[in-house]
Structure 1
Amino acid sequence: MLRRSFLQLGLAGLAAPALIGRTAAIAAETTETKFTVTYFDIPAIKGSRDVTDAGDGTLWVCGQRNGTLGRFDPRSGQLKVVELGQGAAPHGVIRGPDGAAWVTEGGQNAIARVDDKTHKVELFKLPEGRARANLNTGVFDKSGILWFTGQNGVIGRFDPNTRKMEVWDAPRGPGAYGITLTPSGEVWYASLAGNHIASIDTGTAQVTVVEPPTPGQGARRVWSDSKNRVWVSEWNSGNVSAYDTLSKSWKTWKLPGDKPRAYSVYVDDADKVWLTDFSANAIVHFDPVTEAFNSFPSDKAGANVRQMDGRSGEAWGGESGNDRLVRIQTVKQA
């Protein structure tokens, strides 16, 4: 892979140190496509974990190790740091229908809403008896209800209009991890410890477990494509799998390299699949049509990209081990 690097000073942040530098690498996948990789240092966000598009060109990123939520503008290098509260340890962040950032806040055992204009933080605590749920990830259904997972064996939903919070035991105990919404409106989640994926009936909260074809695979995260296929990153097996919710059939592929460990999965608007491989310290691109993989190793050890998200032409991840963000842009050649 051809690589080049450059250093560019950024503008001052709004409330904390902002972009320090960035390094770019270019890799040609085919004669029609190339990828540009850019790194953004955000040292004020410790343990830069889950990321999501904020809808205005900026991104939200969780600082799991210092209880913060960052709003980063890659165009200017500006970084706004929002303190989430004493003992905060945010895991997941998504953009809600109201434009706000919604955070699964494991440290305070709460769902946090951060207003996209004022950055005011509201906390919605889990019910009594649901302490230490180890909140993981959330998704909004088509009715505007937030569904979320907790690794200590819970699934739940929160209605932002009525402020009603409901939490249930996940089948088979601990493990509920990544969660996604399909185009048809189904909510699916993965159970890492339970080695399965499951659908949630958004009306009754009834859970239906679906077994992946590889035993003990360690289904970690899930993401739906435009065809109602649920893509699964398998931590133990090193596979990426796709479950077609319409035909109820599976396809499975092994990530390249020696003993891959697939952590995150994200499907972009072109139905291309992005994964992270902890063994290779890399982001991996997979084309389901050609079944070709392309790997983008980090230029720093211990990147630990635990989740990815993106927008048209861009895939983003947080290098939680290096306190920085990584962006991979897909450029179609003329």
Structure 2
Amino acid sequence: MRIELVEFALPLPDSGPYGIAAGSDGTVWFTEQKRNRIGARNEHGEFTAFDVPTPNAGVMSILCDRNGDLWFNEYHAGQIGRMTPGGEFKEYKLPDPGCAPFGLAEGPDGAIWFTEMMTGRIGRLSPGGEVTEYKLPHEGAFPSFITTGSDGKLWFTENQGNRIGTIDTDGSVTHYALPTPGSAPVGITAGPDGALWFVEIAGNRVGRITTDGEISEYSLSTEGAKPHAITSGIGQDLWFTEWGANRIGRITVDGKLTEYDIPTQGSEPHGITVAADGTVWFAEECNRLGRLTIK
């Protein structure tokens, strides 16, 4: 297996790309948190961008739903945004403007589920635009990323609670404490093995939890690697960003770890996604997108 890693500078300086998602047509979508835009790079390498209607909204996370529409959080504005690939926006105000929505997932019920960091809630936005919120039982949990598991439940990280949580579509919540104290889990994704995989930004580990709650942890080779986001590959592997080590990591479902250095020093990789052809894309806060191709 040969790896090719290439970086692409964004057209405008100080865009601050953070979240990233791959569309089915080869377009890669990303948030420009510093310029308050949704950016796109098509399969021909052309960049476009769309201004978010609400100023200084705090766009960070992004997902491409099954219909091809883009959903993103507005961390500072207390809103969830939706955009068509053609650039038509709709924004949904949440009940508490200071709730700080962050992670997003498309649920098995067709709704968009999201985390509220500051209020410690899990939210649901129905296809009709109705918002329902579920308060977590532990104060200061700081729920971060969220994903749909193979069991049809929504799974999320509790960054300050040092737990992995799960919520049924009816709002029933279960929590699992992590073995490593103060691990600060952030990214989470459904793995190809049916388990949930997550990264511990302070614990310096990649974690795995089965839908029955059995937890395994895998230590990274570099201290202070600060793994941030994780996504499933198209084979029996997962890919994650190492913000502190300036690397992209790969872990197989049996725990084999490989890491790849990013050419630009201090690139601060955050969001990561895998396209349908297996190409790995990631957002670098240093104003670049990275592409890792397996040949």
Normalising by structure 2, we get a TM-score of: 0.81
Call closer, same or farther: CA 1:257–1:100 in 2, change over 3 Å: same
CA–CA distance in 2 between the matches of 1:23 and 1:165?
35
The reply on whether 1:276 has 2:287 as its aligned counterpart is: no
Q: How does 1:190-201 map to 2 (within 5 A)?
A: 190-201=199-210
1:54 aligned to which of 41, 46, 65 = 65
Contact 2:115 2:145 survives alignment (8 Å): yes
Root-mean-square deviation (Å): 2.4
Q: How does 1:279-298 map to 2 (within 5 A)?
A: 280-289=286-295
Offset at 1:21?
Answer: 9.4
The reply on whether 1:218 has 2:226 as its aligned counterpart is: yes
CA–CA distance in 2 between the matches of 1:284 and 1:165?
36
2:196 aligned to which of 181, 187, 195 = 187
CA–CA distance in 1 between the matches of 2:158 and 2:37?
35
* Residue in 2 that maps onto 1:177: 186
The reply on whether 1:125 has 2:131 as its aligned counterpart is: no
Structure with larger Rg: 1
In structure 2, give the amino acid aligned to 1:155. I
The reply on whether 1:110 has 2:121 as its aligned counterpart is: yes
CA–CA distance in 1 between the matches of 2:154 and 2:38?
35
Aligned residues: 261
CA–CA distance in 1 between the matches of 2:71 and 2:252?
30
Unaligned runs of 5+ in 1: 6-19, 27-32, 290-334
CA–CA distance in 1 between the matches of 2:37 and 2:227?
35
Give the stretch that moved more between structures: 177-186 or 258-267: 258-267
Which SS does the other structure have where 1:194 is aligned? coil
Normalising by structure 1, we get a TM-score of: 0.72
* Residue in 1 that maps onto 2:53: 43
CA–CA distance in 2 between the matches of 1:110 and 1:149?
12
Offset at 1:24?
Answer: 7.9
Offset at 1:255?
Answer: 0.6
2:268 aligned to which of 258, 261, 265 = 261
Unaligned runs of 5+ in 2: 1-7, 13-35
Call closer, same or farther: CA 1:241–1:164 in 2, change over 3 Å: same
CA–CA distance in 1 between the matches of 2:41 and 2:106?
29
Which SS does the other structure have where 2:251 is aligned? strand
Offset at 1:4?
Answer: 8.6
1:155 aligned to which of 144, 147, 164 = 164
Tell me which of the two structures has the higher relative contact order, counting C-alpha pairs closer than 8 angstroms and 6 or more residues apart.
2
CA–CA distance in 1 between the matches of 2:118 and 2:272?
24
* Residue in 1 that maps onto 2:101: 90
In structure 2, give the amino acid aligned to 1:261. E
In structure 2, give the amino acid aligned to 1:185. G
Contact 1:189 1:199 survives alignment (8 Å): yes
* Residue in 1 that maps onto 2:91: 81
Cα distance per residue 1:279-302 (max 9 Å; x no partner): x3211111122xxxxxxxxxxxxx
Contact 1:136 1:148 survives alignment (8 Å): yes
